[in-house]
Amino acid sequence: MGKKLFLLLNKAAVRRILIFIAFLVLLALAYTAYKAFGQALDDRQRDWWFIGSFFPRTDDRNMPPILDILSEFGKSPRIGGETYISQLFSGALFTLREAFVAFVVGSIVGLVLAVLLAQSKLAERGVMPWVIVSQTIPLIAITPLVVLWGQANLDFLPWEWKTWMSVSVIASYLTFFPVAVNGVRGLLSPSSEHLELMQSYGASRVSILWKIRFPASLPFLFTAFKLAATAAVVGAIVGEISTGVSGGQGLGKLIFEFARTYAAAPERLYLGVIGAGITGLFAFGLIVLVEKTILNSTGQQIRE
């Protein structure tokens, strides 16, 4: 296992990480430069009244200095309290759990849909528009419904329904779509020679599906899983803000709290933004790892 992990960190991967870090530094420099330039201009604005605010909102409230943002990680909402970095870490874990369940549920729904849609042109023409329509309905329109269902009497379930599960359901709404769409493409991707060969052996639809279509769809599915994983994190964050999860504190709640108190402590909101970004990257990275392991073992190409 250790050896495998090491192999994944080959030269190309190291270079990618370095480029990523270099890009981050560049971004921070651009931010600082914009701020410095805007402030210098602001000081002169009285003389250059005709220009107006060319680079507006560069004061510390609207653009807190990068170093202030970074040092805020080690601070805490109250004296002697838990630091923001540790709150963000446990918040990210909480949100990742919701996102993970959403990912699994959404992927299963997406796969089932893909298999159904790949069965016949008629099914695809009939159902696909509805799958697409489902994604035009904004998340905030369905959250109140999911919350109300979650409060209904769900005693028939073998486990107690918690509010974070409602968040998972909301997030799964975003995850099934890429899996369904890419799944159909993948299932239909085998060439007719392969299919005809199987048919000449007298193979059943099920065995063609399992032995030809499904393996062929893997590269397509992993592309979808990468989209679904990040969508699950976004969906979980939005879901937490909309529904207010009891019994824990996710990234969504943190970001909302930071946004609400922006006026008094603007640096904090940036912590939330960075935290959400890293969490999304982490979810994405996990899928890439699984993808590499599986596709390497099947000898298939990774679709970029």
Partner 1 sequence: MKRKSKFILTIVALFVTLGLVTAACNHNDDSASGNCDKVDKVKLQLQWFTQAQFAGYYAAVEQGYYSDLCLDVEILQGAVEIVPITVLTTGGADFAISWVPKVFGPIEGGSDVVNIAQVFERSGTLQVSFKDSNINSVSDLDGKRVGNWGFGNEFELLAGLKKNNLDPDSDVQLTQQAFDMSALLNRDIDAAQAMIYNEYAQVLEAINPDTSQLYTADDLNIIDWNDEGTAMLQDAIWADKSKLESDSNYRDIATRFVEGSLEGWIWCRDNPTPCVEVVLKNAPTLGRSHQTWQLNEINGLIWPSSNDVSVMNINLANQTARVATEEDIVESNPGSDWYRTDIAEAATKNLKDKGHDVRGLSWQKATVTLLEGGK
Report d(CA 257, CA 272) in Å as an integer. Answer: 9
User: Nearest distance from residue 223's CB to partner 1, in Å?
Assistant: 17
Report d(CA 250, CA 162) in Å as an integer. Answer: 14
Which of 151, 191, 204, 296 lies at the binding interface for partner 1 (CB under 8 A)?
151
Phi, psi of 63 (to 5 degrees): -135, 80
Query: Based on CB atoms, which residue is closest to partner 1, 109 or 128?
Result: 109
Which of 55, 73, 256, 284 lies at the binding interface for partner 1 (CB under 8 A)?
256
User: Nearest distance from residue 63's CB to partner 1, in Å?
Assistant: 12
Contact between 100 and partner 1 by CB under 8 A: the answer reads yes
Report d(CA 174, CA 292) in Å as an integer. Answer: 24
Task: From 12-20, 123-131, 150-158, 187-195, give the range in contact with partner 1 by CB under 8 A.
Answer: 150-158
The amino acid at 49: W
User: Nearest distance from residue 12's CB to partner 1, in Å?
Assistant: 25
Contact between 216 and partner 1 by CB under 8 A: the answer reads no
Cα 22 to the chain's mean position, in Å?
23
- Report DSSP state, residue 211: I
Size, binding site for partner 1 by CB under 8 A:
60
Taking CA atoms, 199 is separated from 115, 116, 119, 190, in Å, by 19, 20, 15, 13
Alpha-helix residue ranges (DSSP H) falling in the chain = 2-8, 11-43, 66-72, 84-119, 121-136, 139-151, 163-187, 192-200, 205-208, 214-243, 251-260, 266-298
Report d(CA 262, CA 268) in Å as an integer. Answer: 7
User: Nearest distance from residue 62's CB to partner 1, in Å?
Assistant: 7
Contact between 143 and partner 1 by CB under 8 A: the answer reads yes
Contact between 211 and partner 1 by CB under 8 A: the answer reads yes
Query: Based on CB atoms, which residue is closest to partner 1, 32 or 249?
Result: 249
List of residues contacting partner 1 (CB under 8 A): 57, 59-62, 76-79, 81-82, 87, 97, 100-101, 104-105, 108, 140, 143-144, 147-148, 151-153, 158-160, 162-163, 165, 210-211, 214-215, 240-244, 246-247, 249, 253-254, 256-257, 259-265, 268, 290, 294, 297-298
